[in-house]
Structure 1
Amino acid sequence: MSKILDITENHLKILSLFTKGYDCEYYIREICRHVPVSHGAAQNILNSLEEKGVLESVMKGRNRIFSLRKTGLCVNYILLAESYKRLKFSEKYPLTYEIIYKILPAFTGPLALFGSYSSELATEFSDIDLLSAGGFDKRQVDEVSRKFKVDINIKQYTKEIVLLGIGNDHLIKEVYKNHIWLCCPEFFVEGYIK
């Protein structure tokens, strides 16, 4: 007998808040300021995610504070939230997503979008900022950049440096706080949550 996975878009919106560095803590009123849901709906979603083992909570004074429970199950739910963020990005910035989609074959390994597009502050003049934790074909990227008349800036690190830099490197910390994982999201999520 199969069980239905009861996840709504509001679940994904709330889980997306916890992807901003994966070490965030939120209380219910704070979540309601970021996600347009009622206090009761937010509480039901948070309780549901806590019962499933995705979130955990502690009482601080009179407030209940929620954070990610860093487990394998949590990783699966966070990967759903990361896919949701990528989908919302592709809907909000369809041309930019098409540009990125055209250059994806040029990359081997994990790839992240950061900067103004991941912060939803992009304008028509914004550059595309990428963090690559692998190799890429610069010629292919430059060709797409010229064709679409957009600057594509790539910061390249090794996988080991990305994992070591999570807590120390300013750029990597910035990427983890505001990102869209484009390739190999498991690398980024599992690398932090382990």
Structure 2
Amino acid sequence: AGAAAAAPGAAAVVGALCFVCSALVAPGHVAHQDYGAVTAGALHGPFAAADELASDLRGAGFEATATPDLVSARWRKLLWNVPFNGLATLLDADTDELLADPAGRALVVALMEEVVAGGRACGAVLGPDDVDRMVALTEAMVPYRPSMALDAAAGRPLEHDAIHGAPVRAAAAAGTVMPRVEQLWLALDLVDRRLRRTTTGAPPATSP
């Protein structure tokens, strides 16, 4: 988002985030497993542009909403991506396994709470209710193996710097540390370097 905000024409940029369970199973073949909501928000331009995009998506049959607060929406997405992508990759676990085990659930919630703190430092409107809601949404979804875990299993490079490193850096710049998320990022960095030594060159999967 930082690079996009500084680019010429940024006022015309509309961001969109998906909450969807899907997997790249073959070139050009994505399996849709659960959920599918799209949230659109203008980067700097008028809210009307995001609202128009959401309306077009609804007209095409998608579940779509527009938000005037793209910053909060992006951090809210990280509430899911940070714990579940990272822990599933390191622990070789599906979402249901992570939440069914007391230790796994505690790790998930602790990471989410750090994301809330980091997001709030960066101007996002987040709180404990967002953590509870994200846990409930995950408990209701089909048992799901996040995209980063699928990338690791297939020998593809990870998206850990965008999902874990970027929020750690953003929070640090705003005066807040995220020690658990940072440790998760470093552990994933080790895995990523190992994968890159033997990568197949296949493209990364799309994060949920």
Structure with greater helix percent: 2
TM-score (normalizing by structure 1) = 0.25
Q: Larger relative CO (CA 8 A, sep 6+): 1 or 2?
A: 1
TM-score (normalizing by structure 2) = 0.24
